[in-house]
């Protein structure tokens, strides 16, 4: 291996690592707040990438109809609750707003010249379609079993993942999707060429991580989510409802996932079923972070990306084995250092 | 009609099935049997033992590939040449290999708690899966073909209808030994893994060993299923051993009822039929393009988990009248049951437990400072003091749950430093817990029998084959005797969780007594008891004292304490502020002062 | 000042069951505006269960009226927003967050509804507990037992509750601190906060309260004016017993 190849591999590794880091953060966030291991995190990535690809090729994506359908179910449930608890003008207006939003997006998708609008608008449309789905997914699938044993939550999480992969195939077809890079410029650094998309990924990831940090340290809503993660009962007593916390974290998880998809779509071809392995690598990062520490998880995920890139070069057949066996020493280390405190069944 | 008749009817139906059903249905039944065997292991591991594994499919693969390689390869290494491609020898080697791998993986990952364990199983599950696809000699992703059929007593099982009988016989055998195992001394230790590890350890159960055992059993079930699968299909490739199959096995376990043996069969059946049915029906209903079945499948599982989080089997069992459910574990009195051996109690007045200058710091906080106390045989000592005075910490030092920062605790002359609560239990110390720790869905009798764990020695194999029934009866009789002694003789077969809190505390005392201790540590035994019950408890403790038992109790109820105990040690701010007879303590100015802040 | 004021909390015929075991059977309790009401009773009598059921942490059968409104199925988030606060026995602080963050989160429901007056309340809480001001940047986990209790109470006050329910506020606290905490209850009442106090420190609780309930085995065994109960021989025998003279000092 010469220097040039090393830089090239390093570049790939850092790019993927940055994405895994974002996903690891999101997985951690959802886990600490809701106890759910969010297996469908990877589907948010593929949906983001494939929606962007569809928009760029000018297809009015059927995802808009899915959003509308989900929103209709959501609002129907709202109405049912209202029937039980009495009419509420504020909630009625909120229902109207939600339906209006979904309809507006459907109209936009159908009428806009999708392929011609600026890339920022395309990305915004993609996010606008996907992010509202997060809270609805939480509400439909997880909220009814919020206090179930962890295993049941995990199984439902996997089942949602299975269904979403199927829906992905239905919406986007079996072909992979790839999008145009954000900008065409490349940077040469000595003898090697840095891909501009790499810089984009790193830049956006770092910005996002900083923004998340500020949100969680400085705003009361962010603090409320942290509080819900630290002490659920304490948070409830402050009126921070688990439903609110669950929906908010799911919205954030879809946002991070979809954005990650948009970021890597110009570099990697993603298929409808690529999500699982991507989120697993995010999990590896999260595990290294001990499912608790955000910075360690981010560093761990970056390491996963790098190891993956370099093992691709040295032993491409064993790439996945290397990455996944990697966490066993970490688990081992954890099992030797942590005290064996019994987890009482709730 | 009894459950036994149902079972016989079921077996007869199974035996007749190949005679009437078409080949395709038999193939489906074969798959159900193979899956159910794996899921049975998962029920044991996840549902009973509380350890979630995504890696079972990899063990299936291990069993499959071992046999596939050994029975087809041309170049067997010299030391294996004698096996000459026999599937039976390959099975034995597969079992040995799987056991070795499971022991290594188990030793590495079973200490993990919470979500780490399932994630760990994903890690090695995926790694093994990729290994099957990349290892030389295993045929890559095309796999290995041309496996010989299994022959049994000269009968060649080369058709689905024939191997059907082998598959189901193995499955029923596995169900039989699983049920036997769960219904035994070792089984109670396994059942305590979920939510009762701390308690089980203090009753002398080696919980890590129990974990490793269930992990091993579940891996072996999977490997045997893989072996059968390989010789049913007569070829193998990596696909059915991947993570998605590992997930499907978990789905089956949860759908059927993750904690019930028969749930494994139901889960495997329902999931297999459901997938088949979705594949046949949906294209017909919704058009052939698009993989609707995964969507509907995923959503159905979500729906099922929301409606019946416990699975189908427990859901069905709720419909069964209660009188069919209670199982009498004890034989009729008429039969002779050998009584368990008793420990010789130390002489009255001998020092049993002694704390010497015990200090325990947590960071900057001194929870216990230079504590000294002695308990003698045939004496009841009370440790009292306001909340937060460090009584619980002291209790933990005395019972070897925690180790003093300095100083030491001597039990019957031996230092407890470095001893586990298991070893201490063996030496004759038994305890109850401030927050009741019992297994709420297990019967009262079985809960108490856990206390007698160390008084039996029959292992896993004799449990699985029920060769330990005589010892089991002795253990259960002892549990019954202790329950009658504490006044819970009418509740033997009730679920422990359905008792009132006060009764649950009394149950803990019976469990502690079952261990045949010479020192009893009781943490707030009278809390939540009514007046009559308190009197009965006091009488019991007095009787035990008369027999030479030493008793230490931490208690808030002063009426109870003052009328019962021989001596009192009073703590405040981690220190002993007084020690003496009850009458002295009641007049001690320092004690009165301390209770200023007390909330008793 | 007892009979004339409005009923703030009116709990009727409350039942709570853990599985098959009934923890509360038909408990009725009321708190009037400006009152301190105490619930005493032995360990395991259901006192904590009662508070948890009222605020909706536990499912219950029965009626909970708060501020004239019926809550058919009490819901924590809604009741907290409507002015009910609970300081639980375990405090439930946000251990790895600063004292100030803990306090601010106490006003989450107000913030969410657009009430930005919580900075004033923060100043009030700091003036009530100067110790918390000194430690405002420290992690909650590093506080001593008494400071934690102050933080738990302060955090609950941030939501401007009309009724504050406290579960064993003196648990594990040194005598001096306990006295301090009890003094604050009297202050709070002067500021118009009603209090429902669960306390094992019966003598002190009866001294500070207007009205009292004795809970035994999940049922109200006795009730009456606190002063009357304090002199009731049955109560004295069962709860005030040993060294009670000294407990009396706490509430003085």
The 10s digit of each residue's pLDDT in B202-254 is 898 998 999 999 999 999 999 999 999 999 988 888 888 988 899 999 999 99
Chain B nearest C-alpha distance from C247 (Å): 5
B236 and B371 share one domain = no
- DSSP secondary-structure letter at B149? P
Half-sphere exposure of A236 (CA within 13 A, CB side): 15
Report strand pairing: B380-384 vs B567-572: parallel
- C201 touching B (Cβ < 8 Å): yes
Record: contact C246-B498, CB cut-off 8 A: no
Mean pLDDT for all residues in chain B: 85
What pLDDT is stored for residue C11 in this prediction? 92
Distance CA B279, CA B301 (A): 16
- DSSP secondary-structure letter at B46? I
Smallest CA–CA distance from C73 into chain A, residue:
A85
- Sequence-separated (6 or more) residues with CB below 8 Å from residue B106: B211, B212, B215, B216
- A247 touching B (Cβ < 8 Å): no
Least confident of A251-265, B30-44, B356-370, C100-114: B356-370
Record: contact A227-C97, CB cut-off 8 A: yes
Q: How many Å is the maximal CA-CA distance in chain B? A: 91
Among B245, B270, B304, where does a domain finish?
Answer: B245
Q: Which of A251, A233, A230, A252 minimizes the C-alpha distance to A241?
A: A233
Record: contact B130-A340, CB cut-off 8 A: no
Secondary structure, 3-state, A39-95: CCHHHHHHHHHHHHHHHHCCCCCCHHHHHHHHHHHHHHHHHHHHHHHCCCHHHHHHH
- Sequence-separated (6 or more) residues with CB below 8 Å from residue A138: A34, A246, A247, A249, A250
Among B245, B267, B292, where does a domain finish?
Answer: B245
Residue C2 counted as domain residue: yes
Tokens representing B182? 């769960």
Establish, for the pair of chains A and B, how many residue pairs have beta carbons separated by less than 8 Å. Answer: 141
Chain A nearest C-alpha distance from C7 (Å): 23
Kindly give the residue spans of alpha helices, DSSP state H, lying in A112-149. Answer: 119-130, 133-137
Reduce the DSSP state of residue A289 to 3 states and report it. Answer: coil
Q: Which CB contacts under 8 angstroms, 24+ apart, belong to B334-337?
A: B335/B473, B337/B470, B337/B473, B337/B474, B337/B477
Among B245, B260, B283, where does a domain finish?
Answer: B245
> Which of B50, B109, B299 is the closest to A163 by Cβ?
B299
Residues in chain C within 8 Å Cβ distance of B559 = 241
Residue C145 counted as domain residue: no
Record: contact A320-B120, CB cut-off 8 A: no
Cβ distance C195 to C21 under 8 Å?
A: no
Record: contact A324-B126, CB cut-off 8 A: yes
Q: Structural domain of residue B380, as residue ranges?
A: 351-428+517-596
What pLDDT is stored for residue B290 in this prediction? 54
B231 and B359 share one domain = no
Record: contact A328-B109, CB cut-off 8 A: yes
Distance CA B430, CA B258 (A): 33
pTM to 2 decimals? 0.83
Report strand pairing: C211-216 vs C36-40: parallel
Residue C3 counted as domain residue: yes
Cβ distance A48 to A261 under 8 Å?
A: yes
**What's the burial of A98, exposed, middle or buried (CB within 10 Å: 0-12/13-18/19+)?**
middle
- A27 touching B (Cβ < 8 Å): no
> Which of A283, A325, A343 is the closest to B114 by Cβ?
A343
* Alpha-carbon dihedral angle through residues A220, A222, A228, A231, given to the nearest 10 degrees: -70
What pLDDT is stored for residue B286 in this prediction? 67
**Crossing angle, helix B87-109 and helix B207-233, to 10 degrees?**
140
Smallest CA–CA distance from B560 into chain C, residue:
C238
> Which of C80, C101, C111 is the closest to A237 by Cβ?
C80
> Which of C43, C44, C178 is the closest to B597 by Cβ?
C178
Residue C158 counted as domain residue: no
Encode burial over A171-202: b for 16+ CB neighbours within 10 A, e otherwise: bbeeebbbbebbeeeeeeeeeeeebbbbbbbb
Record: contact A155-B301, CB cut-off 8 A: yes
Residues in chain C within 8 Å Cβ distance of B595 = 242-243, 246-247
Using the predicted structure, report yes or no on whether residue C243 has a pLDDT greater than 70.
Answer: no
Residues in chain A within 8 Å Cβ distance of C106 = 238
What pLDDT is stored for residue A100 in this prediction? 93
Using the predicted structure, report yes or no on whether residue C176 has a pLDDT greater than 80.
Answer: no
Smallest CA–CA distance from A238 into chain C, residue:
C106
Query: Which H or E element spans position C205?
Result: helix C202-208
Cβ distance A298 to A289 under 8 Å?
A: yes
Distance CA B308, CA B314 (A): 9
Residue C109 counted as domain residue: no
What pLDDT is stored for residue B2 in this prediction? 67
Smallest CA–CA distance from C82 into chain A, residue:
A239
B357 and B219 share one domain = no
Establish, for the pair of chains B and C, how many residue pairs have beta carbons separated by less than 8 Å. Answer: 61
Q: Which of B536, B511, B503, B509 minimizes the C-alpha distance to B523?
A: B509
Q: Which of C181, C179, C144, C147 minimizes the C-alpha distance to C164?
A: C181
Q: Is CATH 3.30.460 the classification given to domain A3-59+114-183+196-334?
A: no
Reduce the DSSP state of residue B494 to 3 states and report it. Answer: coil
Reduce the DSSP state of residue B423 to 3 states and report it. Answer: helix
Subunits adjacent to chain C (3 or more Cβ pairs under 8 Å):
A, B
Residue C136 counted as domain residue: no
- Residues in chain C, how many? 252
Residues in chain A within 8 Å Cβ distance of B130 = 318, 320-321, 324
- Residues in chain B, how many? 600
Record: contact B112-A31, CB cut-off 8 A: no
Chain A nearest C-alpha distance from C108 (Å): 7
Distance CA B585, CA B572 (A): 14
Residues in chain A within 8 Å Cβ distance of C80 = 237-239
**What's the burial of B207, exposed, middle or buried (CB within 10 Å: 0-12/13-18/19+)?**
buried
Kindly give the residue spans of alpha helices, DSSP state H, lying in chain A. Answer: 3-34, 41-56, 63-85, 89-111, 119-130, 133-137, 150-172, 196-218, 220-230, 232-237, 242-264, 275-288, 294-314, 319-325, 327-337
B414 and B547 share one domain = yes
- A226 touching C (Cβ < 8 Å): yes
- CATH of residue B380: 3.40.50.300
Least confident of A276-280, B73-77, B151-155, B535-539: B73-77
What pLDDT is stored for residue A88 in this prediction? 75
Beta strands in B249-364 (DSSP E): 351-362
Residues in chain B within 8 Å Cβ distance of C200 = 599-600
Query: pLDDT by residue (tens digit) across A118-158?
Result: 888 999 999 999 999 999 999 999 999 888 888 889 899 99
Smallest CA–CA distance from A327 into chain B, residue:
B123
Chain A nearest C-alpha distance from B28 (Å): 23
Chain A interface mutation, best of B257, B292, B305, highest count of A Cβ atoms under 10 Å? B305
Using the predicted structure, report yes or no on whether residue B596 has a pLDDT greater than 60.
Answer: no
Using the predicted structure, report yes or no on whether residue C1 has a pLDDT greater than 50.
Answer: no
Query: pLDDT by residue (tens digit) across B411-434?
Result: 988 898 888 888 999 999 999 988
Residues in chain A within 8 Å Cβ distance of B122 = 280, 283, 324
* Alpha-carbon dihedral angle through residues B541, B547, B551, B557, given to the nearest 10 degrees: 20
Residue B447 counted as domain residue: no
Distance CA B515, CA B511 (A): 7
Chain A nearest C-alpha distance from C240 (Å): 32
Q: How far is CA A229 from the centre of its chain?
A: 18
Percent of chain C scoring above 70 in pLDDT: 88
- Residues in chain A, how many? 346
- DSSP secondary-structure letter at A140? I
Tokens representing A122? 């395309």
What pLDDT is stored for residue A336 in this prediction? 66
- pLDDT classification of B21: cutoffs 50, 70, 90: confident
Tokens representing B359? 């200090």
Smallest CA–CA distance from C169 into chain B, residue:
B599
Chain C interface mutation, best of B534, B597, B600, highest count of C Cβ atoms under 10 Å? B597
Beta-sheet strand order (sheet of B519-523): B429-431, B519-523, B550-554, B380-384, B567-572, B575-580
Query: pLDDT by residue (tens digit) across A56-97?
Result: 988 888 889 999 999 999 999 988 888 877 777 788 888 999
How many structural domains comprise chain B? 2
Cα distances from B174 to residues A297, B169, C20, C198, in angstroms, run 42, 9, 35, 55
- pLDDT classification of A2: cutoffs 50, 70, 90: confident
> Which of A233, A238, A241 is the closest to C105 by Cβ?
A238
Using the predicted structure, report yes or no on whether residue A306 has a pLDDT greater than 50.
Answer: yes
Tokens representing B26? 């038999």
Tokens representing B418? 């470095």
Query: pLDDT by residue (tens digit) across B266-324?
Result: 999 999 998 888 888 777 776 665 567 888 889 998 998 888 888 888 888 888 776 66
Cβ distance B434 to B522 under 8 Å?
A: no
> Whose structure tokens read 């599982």?
B301
Using the predicted structure, report yes or no on whether residue C245 has a pLDDT greater than 50.
Answer: no
How many structural domains comprise chain C? 1
How large is the average pLDDT for residues C139-148?
Answer: 82
Tokens representing B148? 């010989």
Residue B183 counted as domain residue: yes
Residues in chain B within 8 Å Cβ distance of A291 = 114-116
Query: pLDDT by residue (tens digit) across B548-575?
Result: 899 999 887 777 888 889 999 988 888 8
Q: Structural domain of residue C29, as residue ranges?
A: 1-48+58-83+165-174+200-244
Chain B nearest C-alpha distance from A223 (Å): 25
Chain B nearest C-alpha distance from A319 (Å): 9
Reduce the DSSP state of residue A188 to 3 states and report it. Answer: strand
Smallest CA–CA distance from B297 into chain A, residue:
A163
- A183 touching B (Cβ < 8 Å): no
Distance CA B131, CA B142 (A): 14
How large is the average pLDDT for residues B372-397?
Answer: 86
Establish, for the pair of chains A and C, how many residue pairs have beta carbons separated by less than 8 Å. Answer: 66
């Amino acid at each position: 291996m010469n220097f040039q190849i090393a830089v090239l591999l390093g570049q790939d590794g850092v790019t993927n690592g940055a994405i895994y880091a974002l996903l690891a953060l999101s997985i951690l966030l959802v886990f600490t707040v809701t106890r759910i291991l969010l297996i469908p995190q990877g589907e948010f990535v593929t949906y983001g990438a494939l929606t962007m690809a569809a928009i760029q090729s000018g297809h009015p994506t059927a995802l808009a109809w899915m959003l509308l359908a989900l929103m209709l179910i959501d609002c129907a449930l709202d109405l049912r609750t209202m029937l039980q608890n009495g009419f509420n003008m504020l909630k009625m207006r909120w229902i109207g707003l939600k339906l209006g939003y979904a309809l507006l997006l459907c109209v936009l998708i159908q009428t806009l010249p999708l392929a011609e609008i600026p890339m920022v608008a395309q990305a915004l449309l993609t996010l606008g379609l996907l992010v509202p789905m997060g809270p609805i997914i939480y509400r439909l699938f997880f909220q009814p079993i919020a206090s179930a044993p962890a295993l049941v939550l995990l199984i439902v999480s996997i089942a949602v993942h299975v269904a979403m992969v199927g829906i992905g195939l239905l919406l986007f077809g079996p072909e992979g999707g790839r999008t145009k890079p954000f900008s065409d410029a490349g940077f040469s650094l000595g003898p090697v060429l840095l891909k501009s998309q790499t810089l984009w990924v790193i830049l956006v990831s770092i910005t996002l991580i900083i923004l998340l940090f500020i949100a969680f340290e400085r705003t009361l809503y962010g603090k409320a989510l942290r509080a819900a993660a630290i002490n659920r009962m304490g948070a409830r007593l402050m009126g921070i409802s688990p439903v609110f916390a669950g929906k908010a974290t799911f919205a954030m998880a879809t946002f991070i996932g979809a954005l990650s998809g948009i970021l890597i779509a110009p570099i990697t071809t993603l298929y409808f079923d690529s999500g699982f392995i991507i989120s697993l690598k995010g999990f590896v990062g999260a595990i290294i972070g001990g499912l608790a520490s955000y910075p360690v998880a981010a560093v761990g995920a970056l390491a996963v990306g790098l190891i993956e890139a370099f093992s691709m070069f040295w032993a491409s057949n064993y790439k996945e084995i290397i990455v996944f066996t990697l966490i066993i020493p970490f688990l081992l280390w954890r099992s030797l250092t942590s005290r064996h405190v019994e987890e009482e069944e709730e | 009609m009894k459950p036994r008749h149902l079972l016989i009817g079921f077996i007869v139906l199974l035996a007749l099935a190949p005679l009437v059903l078409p080949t395709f249905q038999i193939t489906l039944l074969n798959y159900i049997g193979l899956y159910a065997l794996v899921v049975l292991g998962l029920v044991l591991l996840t549902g009973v033992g509380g350890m979630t594994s995504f890696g079972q499919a990899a063990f299936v693969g291990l069993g499959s590939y071992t046999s596939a390689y050994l029975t087809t390869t041309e170049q067997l290494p010299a030391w294996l040449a004698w096996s000459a491609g026999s599937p039976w020898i390959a099975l034995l080697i597969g079992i040995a290999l799987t056991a070795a791998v499971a022991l290594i993986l188990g030793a590495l990952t079973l200490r993990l708690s919470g979500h780490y364990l399932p994630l760990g199983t994903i890690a090695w599950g995926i790694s093994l899966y990729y290994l099957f696809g990349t290892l030389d000699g295993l045929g890559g992703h095309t796999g290995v073909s041309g496996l010989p059929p299994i022959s049994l007593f000269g009968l060649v099982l080369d058709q689905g209808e024939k191997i059907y009988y082998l598959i189901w016989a193995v499955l029923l055998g596995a169900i039989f030994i699983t049920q036997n195992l769960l219904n035994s001394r070792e089984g109670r230790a396994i059942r305590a893994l979920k939510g009762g590890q701390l308690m089980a350890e203090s009753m002398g159960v080696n919980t890590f060993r129990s974990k490793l055992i269930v992990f091993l059993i579940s891996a072996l079930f999977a490997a045997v299923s893989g072996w059968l699968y390989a010789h049913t299909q007569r070829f193998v490739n990596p696909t059915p051993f991947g993570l998605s199959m590992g997930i499907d096995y978990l789905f089956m376990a949860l759908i059927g009822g993750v904690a019930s043996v028969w749930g494994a069969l139901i889960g495997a059946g329902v999931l297999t039929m459901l997938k088949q049915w979705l594949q046949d029906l949906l294209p017909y209903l919704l058009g052939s393009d698009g993989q609707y079945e995964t969507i509907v499948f995923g959503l159905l599982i979500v729906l099922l988990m929301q409606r019946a989080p416990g699975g189908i089997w427990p859901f069905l069992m709720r419909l069964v009248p209660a009188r069919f459910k209670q199982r009498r574990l004890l034989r009729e009195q008429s039969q002779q049951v050998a009584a368990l051996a008793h420990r010789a109690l130390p002489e009255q007045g001998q020092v049993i437990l002694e704390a010497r200058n015990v200090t325990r710091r947590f960071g900057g906080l001194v929870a216990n400072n230079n504590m000294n106390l002695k308990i003698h045989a045939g004496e009841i000592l009370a440790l009292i003091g306001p909340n937060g005075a460090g009584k619980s910490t002291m209790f933990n030092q005395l019972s070897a749950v925690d180790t003093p920062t300095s100083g030491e605790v001597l039990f019957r002359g031996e230092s407890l430093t470095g001893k586990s609560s298991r070893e201490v239990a063996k030496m004759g110390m038994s305890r109850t817990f401030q927050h009741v720790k019992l297994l709420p869905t297990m019967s009262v009798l079985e809960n108490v029998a856990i206390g007698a764990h160390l008084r039996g020695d029959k292992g896993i194999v004799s449990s699985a084959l029920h060769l330990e029934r005589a010892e089991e009866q002795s253990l259960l009789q002892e549990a019954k005797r202790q329950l009658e002694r504490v006044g819970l003789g009418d509740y033997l077969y009730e679920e422990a969780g359905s008792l009132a809190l006060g009764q649950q505390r009394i149950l803990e005392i019976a469990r502690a007594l079952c261990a045949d201790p010479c020192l009893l540590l009781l943490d707030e035994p009278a809390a939540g008891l009514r007046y009559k019950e308190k009197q009965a408890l006091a009488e019991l403790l007095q009787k035990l004292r008369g027999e030479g038992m030493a008793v230490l109790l931490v208690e808030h109820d002063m009426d109870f304490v003052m009328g019962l105990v021989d001596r009192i040690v009073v703590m405040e701010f981690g220190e002993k502020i007084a020690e003496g007879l009850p009458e002295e303590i009641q007049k001690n100015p320092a004690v009165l002062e301390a209770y200023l802040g007390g909330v008793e | 000042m007892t009979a004339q004021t409005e009923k703030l909390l009116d709990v009727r015929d409350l039942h709570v069951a853990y599985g098959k075991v009934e923890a509360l059977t038909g408990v009725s309790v009321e708190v009037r505006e400006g009152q301190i009401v105490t619930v005493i009773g032995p360990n395991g009598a259901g006192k904590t269960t009662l508070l948890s059921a009222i605020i909706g942490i536990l499912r219950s059968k029965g009626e909970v009226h708060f501020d004239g409104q019926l809550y058919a199925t009490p819901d924590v988030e809604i009741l907290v927003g409507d002015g009910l606060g609970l300081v639980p026995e375990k405090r439930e602080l946000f251990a790895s967050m600063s004292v100030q963050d803990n306090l601010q989160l106490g006003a989450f429901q107000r913030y969410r509804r657009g009430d930005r007056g919580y900075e004033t309340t923060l100043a009030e809480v700091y003036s009530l507990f100067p110790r918390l001001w000194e430690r405002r940047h420290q992690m909650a986990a590093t506080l001593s037992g008494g400071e934690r209790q102050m933080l738990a109470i302060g955090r609950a006050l941030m939501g401007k509750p009309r009724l504050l329910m406290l579960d064993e506020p003196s648990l594990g606290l040194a005598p001096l601190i306990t006295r301090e905490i009890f003094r604050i209850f009297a202050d709070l009442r002067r500021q118009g906060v009603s209090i429902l106090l669960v306390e094992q420190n019966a003598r002190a609780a009866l001294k500070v309260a207007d009205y009292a309930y004795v809970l035994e085995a999940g049922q109200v065994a006795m009730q009456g004016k606190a002063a009357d109960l304090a002199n009731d021989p049955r109560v004295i025998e069962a709860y005030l017993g040993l060294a009670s003279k000294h407990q009396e000092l706490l509430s003085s």
